[in-house]
Amino acid sequence: MKNKIFKMLVLALFIMGSLNLTSCSKGNDLSSNPESSDLLAQIQERGSIIIAMEGTWAPWTYHDENDQLVGYDVEVAQLIADKLSVEAEFVEGEWDGLLAGLDAGRYDIMVNGVEITDDRAEKYDFSKPYAYNRTAVITLINNNEIQAMSDLEGKQTANTISSTYADLAEAYGAEVTGVDDLNQTFELLLSGRIDATLNAEVTYYDYMKAHPDAQIKIAVLTKEASKTAIPMRKGDASASLLQAVNTALTDLEENGELTRLSEKYFGTDISKE
């Protein structure tokens, strides 16, 4: 009887060992599969691409009167998803958390008027530019103290922290107050609690279209346009996704969709330098 029980235990241990070896073998096969670390392959298998944006920065990404998420970036991102044959899954958040979420892998790409800078280019892979922007220094209409970028020295400005506009203001000696979104920025400016804010030229025109009586103006406008593109995590895992996004943007440029969307949301074509 004891021999029979012993043989059964040995057989059970053998079967369990075989199952473990099979499981390990499959795990090794998965990790050695190059597609397992390919972001585009993951997106296509999932059937959706997760896109980060603020949802509070008109006309790039905002909510309309029906609380629908709309804007230039929303439609560009949707068309890119269509080109990839997947669903666009939008996730909204404050600017400071969007890039952190991209770092952590919570989002696949960020489509939110992100300008290419040297520091960002070291950390992220960027698509080809799909929009070009000049930077405006916006002040109250009766403020004549700021007529050049150098006049920002010692002035109070406001922008979302880590934005290129905040960095630029600080580079010229301004003291930057951090805000969550564009609405807070204009509230601070109109109440006189800051001297100026830096933002995209087209954002100023869009704000004035919605608030024609706002007593603000463009005091300074940069000559060179910055390049807006789509960041994603740097590395080989993003290589195929970067290529696919660039192909999609090229198609949208050639078929006139970027021009159409630019004119729809900005009243001018910002898709060309």
Q: Is the pLDDT of residue 16 over 80?
A: no
**pLDDT score of 271:** 95
- The answer to whether 218 and 201 are in contact (CB under 8 A) is yes
**pLDDT score of 206:** 86
Give the CA-trace dihedral at 40, 43, 49, 53, to 10 degrees.
Answer: -60
Residue found by looking up tokens 């004119």 in the block: 263
| Distance separating alpha carbons of residues 152 and 137, to the nearest angstrom | 9
| Distance separating alpha carbons of residues 7 and 126, to the nearest angstrom | 63
Average pLDDT over residues 9-18: 45
Look at the alpha carbons of 97, 98, 104, 105 in this order and tell me if their dihedral is positive or negative. Answer: positive
Render pLDDT for 129-181 as a digit per residue (tens, 0 to 9). 999 989 999 999 999 999 999 999 999 999 988 788 999 999 999 999 999 88
Q: Measured between alpha carbons, how far is residue 228 from residues 81, 103, 120, 250 in Å? A: 18, 19, 12, 14
**pLDDT score of 273:** 83
Structure tokens at 226: 């910055």
- Domains annotated on the chain, with CATH: 39-132+228-266 (3.40.190.10), 135-223 (3.40.190.10)
| Distance separating alpha carbons of residues 202 and 197, to the nearest angstrom | 14
- The answer to whether 40 and 85 are in contact (CB under 8 A) is no
**pLDDT score of 181:** 87
**pLDDT score of 15:** 44
The confidence band for 98, taking pLDDT boundaries of 50, 70 and 90, is very high
**pLDDT score of 209:** 86
